[in-house]
Chains A and B, each alone.
Chain A
Amino acid sequence: MQDFLEFFSFTDANIRYVTLGSVLLAASSAVVGCFTLLRKRALVGDAVAHAVLPGVCLAFILSGTKNPFILLIGAFVTGWISLVVIDYITSRSRIKEDTAIGLVLSVFFGIGILLLTSIQQTGNAAQSGLDKFLFGSAASLIGGDLIAFGVVAVLLLVAVVLFYKELTLLCFDQAYARTIGFPVRSLELLLTTLTVFAVVVGIQAVGVVLMAAMLITPAAAARFWTENLKVMLVLAALIGAFSGIAGAYVSYTAPSMPTGPWIVLIVSMIAILSFALAPGRGWVARILRQRRNKTRILEENLLKLLYQLGELRQDYGNARSLEELLERRNIPKKEALGGLQKLKRQGYLRKEDSRWLLTPEGENRGRRVVRLHRLWELYLTQYLNLASDHVHEDAETIEHIITPELEQRLIEELNYPDLDPHSARIP
């Protein structure tokens, strides 16, 4: 708790810097990641992230320093080469893109690990901390590092704002973009460069191994909540920023913990929650919708039953017992009772000494269901040429979803019919 207060009061200048840095990095890579995701190049981001490692190591070997600018340049170069190689393999050989990505990712990362291990064995004192690039360490984002990475992150955000229109069109309809004279090759190059930069600035905080998650997961999570690209970009940035702060906090309170895995865990939690809770697209919304459908079917079936009994005996005013209802239709007793109680609360039924009676409104609704059932049966026999003994099952479902407008259309197309295929009157 003490740590928590200390961290989030931001009195320590270091904490302020680390937090600011993490937020910038995470937000900028999340924003670029939105376009990578929409272009369906998510895996490419992963390949670049891994391919950055040999660059970092080579830059260190050649320069002998850990100057962030030099390491950034090294990372950028190999990240870029990896993309060129993927493109080359895909266009010049029979190997498909996914295979090419897999190949490049593992080869580059393998070389990176090899170099890293040999650097560590030289006993060079300056090398300590280089392994932070593997899993990230937000707490080391201070001083010159912060400025270097921060500047690139801000540039990324500016580039996305500047090229918003062009990048959007590139992701949505590349062929069309070419026919209106957009420099598609250059724009592709731009997006690739942005992706590489986003990966490169993120590795300090998250590390190469898990950087792809930082690029793609916030975008994937944001996609669940909105259908508007601008909103999606802002949401992804916020999700990225939040996980960035969380990562910085963990890194500050437990310096021996690698930051990357923590950030990835947090951002993945957000993604899973989005998957579950998002309106419309989410999983909970789908379950609720299915449950609503189920209750509706049950209720309408009960009303229909009561109406049909009334129709059969020509006595709509008489109350029926539960047993009478269940005799005609197999509904679990408990479910039926619950449905009846609910319909009573809604004013569609009345109860007279444990027997059930339709109110005028209930009778209307029941009649409508019966009408839709018979209309649909008639429609199937007339328009789909189905035999009249094959149409009942289908109508059992369709009767619950036909809207009043469709009902009107049906009646018109069937030319105001009186009888259904079984010669029952259509009420």
Chain B
Amino acid sequence: MILQVDNPVVEVHDLTVSYDRKPVLWGIDLTLPAGALVGVIGPNGAGKSTLIKAMMNLLPVSSGYVRIFDQPLKQVYSRISYVPQRESVDWDFPASVFDVVLMGRYGQLGLFKRPRKADKDAAMEALEKVGMQSFANRQISQLSGGQQQRVFLARALAQNADVYFMDEPFAGVDIATETAIIQLLRLMRDQGKTVIVVHHDLQSASEYFDWVVLLNMRLVASGPTEQVLNQELLEQTYGGKLTVLSKVGDLLRKQEFPAREKN
């Protein structure tokens, strides 16, 4: 059950991504509608984060392309925002909460320019939205996991983008933070933004998202939550790896074979 939409916000076409020549995502064909809160769901090692990273052009792809608002990523940097996994940075970096949120304005500023007063206002406003304004001057090394996640979210909000890509924003955060984040995401969706979230918890998925992408090395399903989250599709997603698929992947790596002939 893979539903393609007209005028998609995100279009992924025949995307294959390999690590060390072994494909971890096979031929993903995916379109996502505007103004949806999308959950990308699958077991560990299914390639959820890989998909998001490939969409953000952070990984080399073996084949295929990604278009956002029907344009290549390079043309739409100002309309997208990425929230990396919390653990991807060293939180012992000498910076304050406010410094990090202000980074959300760097894209608009461009090179060389110093943040203006308006940028600082925007950063402060973003901090207020995640309920962290009183932490503005706190050192980031002193934050709890949930607070770190809120800071990353505030940085993304400060960008004022139209599409948000979030890598596991609910991983390892407290209940209060999770509730606050999901409320914020719903608010963003209601304002017409598209929010794509990598999520690991199947329990809360049906409640959180209105569009679900099921992934396990290949695209299992993509569509409205109530149509996708059913027994059969979940079994396909979580029912173990496709052994032949991963064996072929191993072969490609061992033989140093390209994933596409013309590479």
Contact = CB atoms under 8 A, between A and B. Distances in A.
A binds B: yes
Interface of A: 38, 40, 162-163, 165-166, 168-169, 171-173, 175-183, 223, 226-229, 232
User: Mostly helix, strand, loop or mixed at chain B's interface?
Assistant: mixed
B96 A228 contact: yes
A173 B148 CA distance: 14
Sorted nearest first, the 7 A-B pairs with minimum C-beta distance are A180-B107, A181-B77, A179-B82, A227-B139, A229-B94, A173-B89, A179-B56
A168 B100 CA distance: 10
Given A169-B103, A181-B107, A176 B82 contact: yes
27 contacts: A38-B94, A165-B115, A166-B106, A168-B95, A169-B103, A169-B106, A172-B90, A172-B93, A172-B95, A172-B100, A173-B84, A173-B103, A175-B56, A175-B58, A175-B84, A176-B103, A177-B106, A178-B56, A178-B58, A179-B56, A179-B80, A180-B77, A180-B107, A181-B107, A182-B111, A227-B95, A229-B93
| Residue of B77, B103, B112 contacting most chain A CB atoms (<10 Å) | B103
B114 interface: yes
Interface in B69-117: 74, 77-78, 80-82, 84, 88-90, 93-96, 99-100, 103, 106-107, 109, 111-115
Contacts of A171: 93
A228 B94 contact: yes
A180 to B, nearest CB: 3
A183 B74 CA distance: 11
B141 A179 contact: no
Contacts of B107: 180-182
Nearest to B85: A175
Given A176-B103, A180-B77, A229-B94, A162 B112 contact: yes
A171 B80 CA distance: 22
B149 interface: no
B159 interface: yes
Nearest to B104: A180
Contacts of B159: 180
Interface of B: 53, 56-58, 74, 77-78, 80-82, 84, 88-90, 93-96, 99-100, 103, 106-107, 109, 111-115, 139, 141, 155, 159, 165
A168 B102 CA distance: 12
| Residue of A169, A226, A227, A228 contacting most chain B CB atoms (<10 Å) | A227
B106 A165 contact: yes
Contacts of A168: 95
Nearest to B167: A175
A227 B141 contact: yes
B94 A223 contact: yes
Contacts of B165: 179
Contacts of B103: 169, 172-173, 176
